Amino acid sequence: MSRERLDKILATQNLGSRKDAGTMIRRGAVAVNGNVVKKADFKVDTQLDAVTVNGESLMIKEFIYLMMNKPAGVLSAARDTRAQTVVDLLQPSLKRRGLFPAGRLDKDTEGLLIITDDGVFSHRMLAPKSHVFKRYEAVLAAPVTAGDIKKFEKGVVLNDMTCLPAELKVLTEGENPLVLVKIREGKFHQVKRMFLALNNEVLKLKRVQIGELRLDETLAPGEARELTEAEIDAIFG
């Protein structure tokens, strides 16, 4: 951010709509550098100017970065007229205009999801050339063979593409083994399709890590919190 309209700044900081912001400004609730401002189009330098609302300092954030423990049954979308989305789940203190999930998890997939309003950050995180790996835990319908692990290492062949080399590790043996999958792509239903190509089926899928950022297991399904700067850096490891 550089110089922006005061009402626009307030609207991006979870203080209501532009209309709400204009009302606050006109009634004298907002000051810039100690001086009450009553014009919504007043330009503010967000790097230098101090803004207060009702006497309290406003910590202006250009972008916000959230970690959510996505529950099953919720769409990875900003909005949908027919179904609940991950943005709908956010507590009011975290909501602001322009939020969207950076990448997606299938409706029935759980786990680590990043929600932000920073498009450049999202593109960087998702681009295969950035080598940001994603790790998933999957419960399978059948055991994994040594041949399956080798096919993951070479790149599983699907009917419309060959996946980039990936890692497959068995965490627990049994009739329905728990495995860890490490990929750096994020194609539609990719993990499920990879196992279907090996005549297996994913019964449950959970993303547990992006880069070096692990899911905060203290977050209940549907809960979210802001990422620290160190956690943001860990994504790009």
Which amino acid belongs to residue 29?
A: A
Extents of the domains making up the chain:
3-57, 65-127+213-235, 133-210
| Chain Cα centroid distance, residue 16 | 22
d(CA 164, CA 67): 26
225-232 long-range Cβ contacts below 8 angstroms, 24+ apart: 225/66, 225/67, 225/94, 226/64, 226/65, 226/66, 226/67, 226/94, 227/65, 227/66, 227/67, 227/114, 231/67, 232/65
The stretch 137-148 carries a mean pLDDT of 97
Please give the class, per CATH, of domain 3-57.
Answer: alpha beta
Give mean pLDDT, residues 177-199. 94
> Are 233 and 162 in contact, with CB atoms under 8 Å apart?
no
**Which CATH superfamily hosts domain 133-210?**
Alpha-L RNA-binding motif (3.30.70.1560)
pLDDT of residue 73: 96
What is the rounded (10 degree) CA torsion for 209, 211, 216, 217?
Answer: 20
Backbone angles phi, psi at 152, to 5 degrees: -65, -45
Architecture of domain 65-127+213-235: 2-Layer Sandwich (3.30)
Look at residue 62 and tell me whether its pLDDT is greater than 90: no
The residue type of 140 is L
What would the pLDDT profile of 72-122 be if each residue is shown by its tens digit?
A: 999 999 999 999 999 999 998 888 888 999 988 999 999 999 999 999 999
Of 133, 128, 144, which Cα lies nearest the Cα of 195?
Answer: 144
Residue-averaged pLDDT of the chain? 93
Residue 1 banded pLDDT, cuts 50, 70, 90 = low
Q: Which of 106, 108, 117, 118 is catalytic?
A: 106
Task: Record the pTM.
Answer: 0.84
65-127+213-235 matches 133-210 in fold: yes
Active site residue 106: yes
Where do the DSSP E strands lie in 33-174? 35-36, 43-45, 51-53, 56-57, 65-70, 100-101, 110-116, 134-140, 167-172
